Structure formats: structure tokens, C-alpha cells
Amino acid sequence: MLKIMTSIVLSLIISMALIMICSIISKKSKNNREKMTPFECGFDPKSSSRMPFSMQFFMIAIIFLIFDVEIIIILPTIKIMQMSELSMWFITTSTFIIILAMGLYHEWKNGILEWSN
């Protein structure tokens, strides 16, 4: 028990010492040269960080992430096909793909996939 307490205290002392040394050594100025220059994309860092963005870009990114995760879910079905009955595998995979198609149809019907309004 003494060894555990000693190692905990020692690790806390070392971490606190490193934090204090880093805070003393680091240069912090409000007008840092790197922060005053524009980003690589050309946006001015002094303006509001709450700049409006295109909702179409956001929705396409969300749809991409959803379908990307669904592809990852579909990939193991090839291995499962070897272990289970073909009819059960076909029903499961078909149901999953039908649900995906219904979601895509819903997004298309609501106009999420239309780029210009």
C-alpha cells in the first residue's frame, strides 16, 4: 500500500512541477504574430468565429457520414454469409438495404440533396 501511495504522490509532484515549468517558460501574449495572420484558407481571424456556413455542405457531410457508417456495418455480412444460412443472410441484408434506400428516398423527397434552392 505504501508503494502505491508513494507512486501516486510522486506522479502528482512530477506532473505539477512540469505544469508550473511550462507555464513559466511559455510565452503568452495577446497579440501573437501567428494569431494575427490569416489562416491558410484566407479567413480573417479577428472577425466573428460564428461565420455563416452553407447548410447544404453540412447536410451532405452528415449524409456522407451516415452512409459511411452503414457501409462499415454492411462489410462484415460477407463473412457472416459463410457462417449462416443463405436465406437468413439474404433477408437480413435485403432489409438493411431497403431501410437505407427508404432513408435516401426520404432525404431526396425533403430536398436535402438539392444543391441550389
Does 25 map to a domain?
Answer: yes
Does 115 map to a domain?
Answer: no
Does 114 map to a domain?
Answer: no
Does 116 map to a domain?
Answer: no
CA atoms within 13 A on the CB side of 67: 13
Does 105 map to a domain?
Answer: yes
Residue-wise pLDDT tens digits, 17-62: 999 988 888 766 555 666 666 666 655 556 556 667 777 788 788 8
Number of domains, the chain = 1
Give the pLDDT confidence score for residue 60 in this predicted structure: 80
Does 117 map to a domain?
Answer: no
Residue-wise pLDDT tens digits, 75-99: 887 777 788 888 888 888 888 889 8
Query: CATH code at 11?
Result: 1.20.58
Does 15 map to a domain?
Answer: yes
Give the pLDDT confidence score for residue 72 in this predicted structure: 82
Does 103 map to a domain?
Answer: yes
In 12-37, which positions are buried (b, 16+ CB within 10 angstroms) versus exposed (e)? Answer: eeeeeeeeeeeeeeeeeeeeeeeeee
**What is this structure's pTM?**
0.45
Give the pLDDT confidence score for residue 74 in this predicted structure: 80
46 contact partners, CB below 8 Å, separation of at least 6: 36
Which residue range is the domain that position 62 belongs to?
2-109
| DSSP tag of 76 | T
| 42 vs 68, higher pLDDT | 68
Give the pLDDT confidence score for residue 58 in this predicted structure: 80
Checking if the pLDDT of 11 tops 90, the result is yes
